[in-house]
Amino acid sequence: MKLIESKNNENLVEEYIELFRELYKDDFRLDSQIKTIKKSFSKNNPFYKNGTTKNFLVMKNNKPIGHCTAIIDKRIINKGFIGFYDCVKDEEVNTFLLRSAVNWLKQNKCKTICGPINLTIWHNYRFIQEIMKTPEIFDPFSKEYYNIFWEKFGFIKSEKYVSAKRTNFDYVITPSNKAMESFKKNKFIIRNFNKKNPTNDLRIIMNLSNEIFLKSWNFVKIDFSEFFYLYKDLLPIIQKENINIVENQKKEPVGFCFNLPNPYNKSQIILKTIGVLKEYRRLGVASALLNYCHKNAKKLGFKEYYYPLIRVGNNVTKFPYEGYEIITKYSTYELK
């Protein structure tokens, strides 16, 4: 085995993609994810204003058999991250790969190492722990042995997540309850995404997210250049009804719901993110948003709602209401 190392950006991306294609050649999301990988490693990615990476590629007989990227984000002190991890089913290769990345991170004063995270938690992260059906659009790419390899190396599970689906929207579409009455009493309004001025509304969503999710595991505040770089490619498929912003009586944004139609499944809509500022969480805002977006989905002809990547232990683990089916479980890891 031979280890090749490179610094930031694009140096080893083609070799990594060769490995990635081999591991996931039957996955319907393959081409889309390869575009994401190239975009992530591009020198145009604004993440690199704040982050440093080192790529590790294991070769055998001139073929790539393992890859990972060690990541340091100067906005998160004393922590390092490992992402873009993929490996053949060989524990020796995994150990060689992870040891190289961990040693580099420790040499750079990282006391805790977390993963898998592809740059930040705004990007793809987590391993699949258990899956009941085929992977969905936002599922991480991972093999069933990745969790085992990381745990044998010494990583410990840090966070757990689930994804769920529902086909009966009526559980969520509630014409009247205490939450809805509170929402109306406080004179909140829900408006749709402004496609004529998408930059302004994306900035609103970013600002809300930076505040709402501040205490999430390894969360980092990002600026608009990073946020826009992540989401600009989705703008053509977004309908104004898919993104909803809640405003108070002063026209100040207090919450949002970000939905996306699934390009691979025309009958499915995805609830990517929902968030409400802390001081407004007991005023019916989340319930009203869920009511509104499920009504819209039904009106637009969607037959299935997909709720990806909900943190276990969060209040929304039981969300949204009855009638859903948990289809996938995920884990993240830490090493100290």
The residues, ordered by sequence, that sit 6+ positions from 22 with a Cβ below 8 Å of its Cβ are none
CATH of region 2-161: 3.40.630.30
- Residue 315 predicted with pLDDT over 60: no
**Domain residues of the chain, as ranges?**
2-161, 168-302
Q: Which of 18-22, 174-178, 207-211, 314-318 has the lowest mean pLDDT?
A: 314-318
pLDDT tens-digit series, residues 244-263: 999 999 999 999 999 999 99
Q: Do domains 2-161 and 168-302 have the same CATH topology?
A: yes
Q: For the structural domain made of 168-302, what CATH number should be given?
A: 3.40.630.30
Tell which wins on pLDDT, 313 or 317.
313
pLDDT of residue 12: 78
Whether this prediction's pTM lies above 0.85 is answered by: yes
CB 68 within 8 A of CB 96: no
Q: What is the pLDDT of residues 47-71, one digit of tens each?
A: 999 999 999 999 999 999 999 999 9
Separation between Cα atoms, residue 193 and residue 203, nearest integer Å: 12
Residues 6+ apart with CB under 8 A from 113: 79, 80, 81, 82, 102, 105, 106, 334, 335, 336
Instruction: State what percent of residues in the chain have pLDDT above 90.
Output: 85
CB 147, CB 322: distance < 8 Å: no
CA angle at residue 262 from 261 to 267, to 5 degrees?
85
Under 8 Å between Cβ of 336 and 112 = yes
Which amino acid is it at 167?
T
Chain CA centroid to CA 207, Å: 17
Amino acid letter, 211: E
Coil, strand or helix: which one is 180?
A: helix
**Contacts with 108 (C-beta within 8 Å, 6 or more apart), sequence order:** 72, 80
